[in-house]
Structure 1
Amino acid sequence: MNEEKLNELRQKVQNLALEYQKKEDFTGWFEVMYTDALGNPEEIPWAKMQPHPCLENWLKTKDITNKKALVIGCGLGDDSELVAEKGANVTAFDIAPSSIEWCKKRFNNSSVNYFVADLLKLDNSWKNSFDLIFESRTIQALPLSIRREVIEAIATLLKPKGTLLVVTRLREIEDIPDGPPWPVSEEELSQLSEYGYEEITRIPYSDPNNPSIKQALIEYQRKRL
Structure 2
Amino acid sequence: MMADPWLARWLPMAVEHAGAHPVLEIGCGHGDDTAVLAGAGLSVQAFDLSAAALAVAKLRVPSAKFEQRDIREPLPLPPQSAGLVVASLSLHYFPWAQTQDIVARIHAVLRPGGVLLCRLNSTEDRNFGAAGHPEIEPNFFMVDGQPKRFFDRSAAEALFAQGWKQISLQHFVTRKYVRSKALWEAVLERV
TM-score, length-scaled by structure 2: 0.74
What does 1:1-225 align with in structure 2 at a 5 Å threshold? 48=1, 50=3, 52-60=4-12, 63-64=15-16, 65-107=19-61, 110-122=62-74, 126-144=78-96, 146-171=98-123, 175-178=138-141, 179=143, 180-185=147-152, 186-187=154-155, 189-194=157-162, 196-208=163-175, 209=178, 211=180, 214-223=182-191
Flag the structure with higher strand content: 2
Which amino acid in 1 is paired with 2:22? K
The 3 A distance-change label for structure 1 pair 105 and 124 is closer
> 2: distance between equivalents of 1:123 and 1:206?
30
Give the deviation of 1:95 after TM superposition.
1.8
Deviating beyond 4 angstroms after TM superposition, the runs of 4 or more aligned structure 1 residues are none
Give the deviation of 1:124 after TM superposition.
7.6
> 1: distance between equivalents of 2:49 and 2:78?
16
Q: Deviations over 1:69-117 (max 9, x none)?
A: 111010001101111111211110112222222222334xx21111112
> 1: distance between equivalents of 2:73 and 2:13?
34
Q: Is the 8 A contact 1:71 1:80 kept in 2?
A: yes
Q: Secondary structure at the match of 2:25?
A: strand
Give the deviation of 1:60 after TM superposition.
5.0
Which structure is higher in RCO with an 8 Å CA cutoff and minimum separation 6? 2
> 1: distance between equivalents of 2:99 and 2:15?
31
> 1: distance between equivalents of 2:139 and 2:119?
20
Q: Secondary structure at the match of 2:167?
A: strand
The sequence identity of aligned pairs, in percent, is 23
The count of aligned residue pairs is 171
Q: Is the 8 A contact 2:24 2:82 kept in 1?
A: yes
- When the two chains are superposed, the root-mean-square deviation of aligned CA atoms in Å is 2.8
Q: Secondary structure at the match of 1:142?
A: coil
TM-score, length-scaled by structure 1: 0.64
Structure 1 or 2, whichever has the larger Rg, is 1
> 2: distance between equivalents of 1:124 and 1:136?
18
Give the deviation of 1:156 after TM superposition.
2.0
Which amino acid in 1 is paired with 2:138? D
Give the deviation of 1:204 after TM superposition.
2.6
**What are structure 1's unaligned runs of at least 5 residues?**
1-47
Query: Which segment drifts farther, 127-136 or 175-184?
Result: 175-184
